[in-house]
């Protein structure tokens, strides 16, 4: 540690953990229209409450000035079906999208607006105040950094239909200008972001003692949102250089751009954040592999899970020889605190600090989570391969047993299930019955709303004793997965409850109408399979001792990345 005594004062010099570059390249805006008269104005409604109300109100006001304007509504969902979006772009001369007033819906709506601009169709998005940074970041990530939007004062979900229209109508002229004038003419009422301090490479802090100097460093870094709220290890140049030297790679090598802001994650910048977490040099390859897996999450989900107003957070599963070599806990309480989990905690903290300082994953900035979750202190665990009767998790993902890997799942929530201690069939039935689905959006968005893919699912952690019992009964991991697929069954009444208003707006697919036609008694007494594809359900073996099972709800398909480098 660089600690020096200078003029009766002890000083410590630390390295700046933030990105020195951001990814800024992009596509220019589509040409704006000379007039809206005689044109087709498409209204992209993502089904958020009052989105359609606001769009119709402003479109009718525009039509008063341009009487030959044709208006077409395209009612979709938070994630527009590709065919619907394609049709809207092909049939419209200009588009207005609404509404961007949560993290996930903002990134998806900006994604769709960017597709329109790239296809040559001008668009403007209606954004609620407080989501401007989210909007700007999404626009950069999706390749149209100058994408145009207007800002309403309040989120639409908090308003009546009349209030939603009233707050949008004053922006009519601004919306027309965004579709018909050059970017230089644009003027929005978005708040100016606070001025950033000039970036410097190192900082020096002093005190009467070494402890005071390190305390001063911590106070400054935490005040500037470089930290996670807990005391930080001082990222001195010596510590950072030791981590870099051990990797055998150029210090300025661009490993990845770090979401959601996509700052440049060079080896050096990632090493600084790992040093702040207290990582040893041999742990950095695990950190890098986890960051690559997070980065590999396909857009727009890569932004949705990090920028949402929902409590989503990455969880990292480590497999292979490095689990033992590094001392990653896979046995008793691998998600818990204490000395046995210090490696797990260091690695998870390094990933979180890198997302924070290189990707601006900071509450109120890029992370717009309403309440938050302790899972954002990113959890890391190893799979207990020694006690598992089944093949390791990474083998099922196409890797070899001797490959060391990380798997990242973006968790929605976590539940301690605790199984029945009777026969295997009773134990499985108990686990399936106790698996929550009401906090999942999976069935509702991917089935009722007609979307494809396994963005939403379940990730079970079964202790070795449970896995052995199941294996001794002749059940493979795949057989257990399929059991859960067919037996995790929510009540129909609970499945359709959040979708009553969707149905009223014609947003539920016709093949699911039968559920709404059932009597209230039938809806309460009948159940339905929660997932359509076994790939939505994942299983790993972890922990040690009493068979107490655990499950994460997942927001994305888990992504597995091979760990490359020292160990």
Q: How far apart are CA 326 and CA 341, in angstroms?
A: 11
Longest Cα–Cα distance of the chain, Å, equals 83
Domain span at residue 160?
40-185
First-to-final CA distance of the chain: 24
Note whether residue 165 is domain-resident: yes
- Strands 550-554 and 537-541, bridge-based pairing: unpaired
The whole-number pLDDT of residue 119 equals 95
Which residues lie closer than 8 Å to 482 by C-beta, 6 or more apart? 534
Q: How far apart are CA 563 and CA 286, in angstroms?
A: 6
pLDDT 10s digits, 368-405: 788 889 999 999 999 999 999 999 999 999 999 999 99
How many domains, in total, are found in the chain? 2
* Burial (CB count within 10 angstroms: exposed 0-12, middle 13-18, buried 19+), residue 185: exposed
Structure-token pair, residue 148: 């145009």
Query: Are residues 70 and 170 both part of a single domain?
Result: yes
Query: Are residues 168 and 285 both part of a single domain?
Result: no
Query: Are residues 157 and 297 both part of a single domain?
Result: no
**Domain end point (choices 119, 152, 185):** 185
Note whether residue 240 is domain-resident: no
Structure-token pair, residue 220: 């400054």
Residue 46 belongs to domain with CATH number: 3.40.50.10350
Contact (CB, 8 A) for 151 and 175:
no
Q: Which residue has the tokens 């990105």?
A: 19
Supply the DSSP string of 519-548, one letter for each residue.
-HHHHHH-B--S-S-GGGEEEEE---SS--
C-alpha torsion sign, points 469, 475, 477, 480: negative
Q: How far apart are CA 68 and CA 149, in angstroms?
A: 24
Structure-token pair, residue 408: 């990242």
pLDDT 10s digits, 240-273: 999 999 999 999 999 999 988 889 999 999 999 9
Note whether residue 204 is domain-resident: no
Which residues lie closer than 8 Å to 512 by C-beta, 6 or more apart? 447, 448
Query: Are residues 334 and 464 both part of a single domain?
Result: yes
**Domain end point (choices 140, 159, 185):** 185
Q: How far apart are CA 303 and CA 305, in angstroms?
A: 6
Q: Provide the residue count of the chain.
A: 567
Query: Are residues 319 and 468 both part of a single domain?
Result: yes
Which residues lie closer than 8 Å to 157 by C-beta, 6 or more apart? 48, 49, 50, 101
Task: Note down pLDDT in tens along the chain; length 567 residues.
Answer: 455 555 578 999 999 999 988 776 688 999 999 999 999 999 999 878 889 999 999 999 999 999 999 999 998 777 777 888 999 999 999 999 998 787 678 888 888 999 999 999 999 999 999 888 888 878 887 889 999 999 999 998 889 999 999 999 999 999 999 999 865 444 444 444 444 567 899 999 999 999 999 999 999 999 999 999 999 999 999 999 999 999 999 999 999 999 888 899 999 999 999 999 999 999 999 999 999 999 998 776 777 788 787 888 999 999 999 999 999 999 999 999 999 999 999 999 999 999 999 998 988 887 878 888 999 999 999 999 999 999 999 999 999 999 999 999 999 889 999 866 778 888 899 999 999 876 554 445 445 544 445 567 899 999 999 999 999 999 999 999 999 999 999 899 988 887 787 787 777 778 888 999 999 999 999 998 888 788 889 999 999 988 899 999 988 889 999 999 875
Note whether residue 5 is domain-resident: no
Note whether residue 500 is domain-resident: no
Which residues lie closer than 8 Å to 515 by C-beta, 6 or more apart? 492, 495, 496, 523, 528
Q: How far apart are CA 348 and CA 132, in angstroms?
A: 29
pLDDT 10s digits, 401-418: 999 999 999 998 899 998
Query: Are residues 377 and 485 both part of a single domain?
Result: yes
Contact (CB, 8 A) for 170 and 51:
no
Give, in degrees to the nearest 5, the angle at Cα 251 between 248 and 257: 110
Contact (CB, 8 A) for 319 and 401:
no
> Residue 66: which of 58, 55, 76 has the closest Cα?
58
Query: Are residues 406 and 552 both part of a single domain?
Result: yes
Q: How far apart are CA 328 and CA 308, in angstroms?
A: 30
pTM for the full predicted model? 0.85
Note whether residue 283 is domain-resident: yes
Rg (CA), the chain: 26
Structure-token pair, residue 423: 């026969």
Note whether residue 24 is domain-resident: no
Query: Are residues 140 and 286 both part of a single domain?
Result: no
pLDDT 10s digits, 302-324: 777 887 878 889 999 999 999 99
- Strands 550-554 and 405-416, bridge-based pairing: antiparallel
pLDDT 10s digits, 183-229: 544 444 444 444 456 789 999 999 999 999 999 999 999 999 999 99
Contact (CB, 8 A) for 203 and 276:
no
Percentages of the chain per state (helix, strand, coil), in multiples of 5: 40, 20, 40
**Domain end point (choices 145, 163, 185):** 185
> Residue 537: which of 469, 459, 461, 472 has the closest Cα?
459
Note whether residue 79 is domain-resident: yes
Query: Are residues 150 and 299 both part of a single domain?
Result: no
């Amino acid at each position: 540690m660089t600690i020096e005594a200078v003029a009766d004062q002890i000083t410590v010099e630390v390295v700046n953990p933030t990105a020195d570059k951001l990814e800024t390249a992009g596509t220019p805006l589509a040409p704006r229209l000379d007039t809206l008269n005689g044109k087709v104005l498409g209204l992209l409604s993502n089904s958020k409450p009052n989105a359609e109300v606001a769009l119709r109100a402003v479109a009718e006001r525009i039509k008063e000035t341009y009487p030959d304007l044709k208006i077409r509504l395209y009612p979709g969902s938070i994630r527009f079906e590709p065919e619907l979006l394609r049709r809207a772009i092909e049939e419209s001369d200009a588009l207005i999208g609404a509404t961007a007033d949560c993290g996930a819906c903002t990134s998806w709506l900006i994604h769709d607006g960017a597709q329109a601009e790239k296809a040559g169709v001008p668009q403007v998005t209606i954004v609620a105040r407080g989501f401007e940074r989210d909007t700007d970041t999404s626009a950069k990530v999706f390749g149209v950094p100058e994408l145009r939007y207007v800002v309403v004062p309040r989120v639409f979900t908090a308003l009546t239909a009349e209030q939603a229209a009233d707050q949008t109508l004053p922006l009519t002229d601004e919306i027309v200008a965004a579709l018909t004038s050059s970017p230089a003419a644009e003027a929005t009422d978005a708040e100016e972001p606070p001025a950033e301090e000039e970036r410097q490479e190192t900082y020096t802090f002093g005190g009467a003692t070494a402890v005071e100097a390190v305390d001063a460093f911590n106070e400054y870094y935490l005040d500037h949102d470089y930290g996670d709220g807990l005391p930080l290890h001082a990222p001195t140049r010596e510590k950072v250089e030791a981590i870099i030297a051990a990797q055998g790679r150029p210090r300025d090598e661009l490993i990845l751009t770090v979401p959601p802001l996509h700052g440049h994650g060079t080896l050096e910048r990632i090493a600084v954040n790992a040093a702040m977490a207290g990582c040893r040099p041999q742990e950095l390859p695990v950190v890098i592999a986890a960051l690559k897996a997070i980065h590999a999450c396909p857009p727009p989900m890569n932004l949705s899970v990090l920028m949402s107003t929902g409590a989503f957070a990455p969880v990292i599963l480590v497999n292979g020889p490095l689990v033992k070599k590094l001392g990653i806990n896979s046995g008793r309480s691998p998600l818990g605190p204490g000395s046995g989990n210090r490696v797990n905690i260091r690695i998870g903290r390094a990933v979180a600090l890198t997302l924070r300082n290189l990707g601006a994953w900071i509450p109120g900035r890029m992370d717009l989570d309403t309440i938050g979750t302790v899972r954002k202190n990113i959890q890391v665990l190893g799979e207990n391969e020694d006690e598992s009767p089944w093949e390791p998790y990474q083998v099922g993902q196409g890797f070899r047993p001797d490959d060391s890997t990380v798997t990242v799942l973006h968790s929605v929530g976590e539940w301690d299930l605790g199984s029945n201690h009777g026969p295997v069939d009773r134990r499985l039935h108990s686990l399936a019955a106790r698996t929550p689905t009401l906090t999942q959006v999976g069935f509702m968005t991917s089935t009722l709303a007609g979307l494809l893919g396994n963005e939403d699912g379940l990730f079970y952690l079964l202790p070795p004793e449970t896995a052995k019992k199941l294996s001794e009964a002749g059940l493979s991991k795949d057989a257990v997965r399929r059991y859960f697929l067919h037996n995790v069954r929510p009540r129909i009444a609970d499945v359709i409850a959040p979708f009553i208003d969707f149905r009223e707006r014609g947003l539920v697919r016709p093949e699911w109408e039968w559920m709404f036609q059932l009597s209230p008694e039938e809806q309460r007494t009948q159940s339905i399979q929660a997932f359509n594809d076994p790939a939505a359900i994942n299983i790993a073996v972890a922990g040690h001792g009493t068979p107490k099972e655990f499950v994460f709800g997942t927001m994305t398909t888990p992504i597995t990345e091979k760990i490359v480098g020292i160990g």
